[in-house]
Amino acid sequence: MAVQAIPRVRWSGERSFYTGMALAILVTVYVGFARSFFLRPLFPTWPSPPETLFYVHGAVFAAWFVLLVAQASLVAAGRTDVHRKLGRWGVVLAAGMVVLGVLGALTAARRPTGFVGIPVPPLQFLVVPLVDMVMFASFVGLAIAKRSDPQAHKRWMLLASINLITAAIARWPGVITVGAPPLFFGLTDLFLVPIVIWDRKSRGRVHPATLWGGLLTVVSQPLRLVVSGTTAWLAFARWVTGLLG
């Protein structure tokens, strides 16, 4: 009896690149939150948020990064049909992340002790996670709008995910003891470098999504630090945290 051979999908350099980037982002998040979330039972004395909300938050955000790897792997394996079906759930997941991200940021900013492990006054630091959510929502929205343009779509999805990893990097062993936001942002920006190099190698120039998304990411970082101590921001932060009652 003849057995039909299953065609093997040859991974191109592009497929390997995006899958590798997705895996690197997932590992970054895992290492950063291993002690406070993923391996919490092994580190019972490690500081972590006391509210149940943050465990839901952690599970939903972790699901996003796992989905990012799965989606890149599906495209690499030629299963774009499954990729599209999962993409619909990804939209729902992203919306939930924005809601949980904002609620988590406001909850932490209302604590007398502020954000766990962050020495910056909570109302000042609130600008960082709130802008993260704005950037993430905007980039995912652009990725959805550009879903018929694979080159733009995949870059916006990567950029959206990169904008979320600063919190994980700030909790890396050795990095957390420094406690310097410019260092956390700088290490995050290193994830933009491979995309620029890939663009130059594969296209001969930087893709517009990489250019504008990368610029928005980098420029937003020092602006947050500048804005955080202003009277206008602190007034807004007091008002928005007061909405939780």
Count Cβ atoms within 10 A of the Cβ of residue 50 and give its class: 0-12 exposed, 13-18 middle, 19 or more buried.
exposed
**pLDDT computed for residue 181 by the predictor:** 82
**pLDDT computed for residue 9 by the predictor:** 47
**pLDDT computed for residue 2 by the predictor:** 46
Does any domain span residue 190?
yes
Does any domain span residue 3?
no
Does any domain span residue 128?
yes
Q: What is the pLDDT of residues 66-123, one digit of tens each?
A: 999 999 999 988 899 999 999 999 999 999 999 999 999 999 999 988 898 888 899 9
Does any domain span residue 8?
no
User: What average pLDDT does this structure show over 199-204?
Assistant: 95
**pLDDT computed for residue 1 by the predictor:** 42
CB 121 within 8 A of CB 158: no
Q: Band the pLDDT of 180: cuts 50, 70, 90.
A: confident
Does any domain span residue 30?
yes
Does any domain span residue 4?
no
Q: For the chain, how many structural domains are there in total?
A: 1
Does any domain span residue 161?
yes
**pLDDT computed for residue 161 by the predictor:** 98
Question: Which region among 1-15, 101-115, 128-142, 189-203 has the lowest average model confidence (pLDDT)?
Answer: 1-15
Does any domain span residue 152?
yes
Count Cβ atoms within 10 A of the Cβ of residue 15 and give its class: 0-12 exposed, 13-18 middle, 19 or more buried.
middle
Q: What is the pLDDT of residues 120-151, one digit of tens each?
A: 899 999 999 999 999 999 999 999 999 999 99
Show the tokens assigned to 204.
């001969």
Q: What is the domain range of residue 159?
A: 13-236
Q: Tell me the C-alpha distance between 145 and 152, whole Å.
A: 10
Q: Global pTM?
A: 0.91
Show the tokens assigned to 232.
């206008």
CB 64 within 8 A of CB 94: yes
- CA nearest neighbour of 167 among 110, 105, 121: 105
Describe the crossing of helices 150-162 and 192-203 by its angle, rounded to 10 degrees: 160
What CA dihedral angle connects 143, 147, 150 and 151, to 10 degrees?
Answer: -30
CB 22 within 8 A of CB 157: no
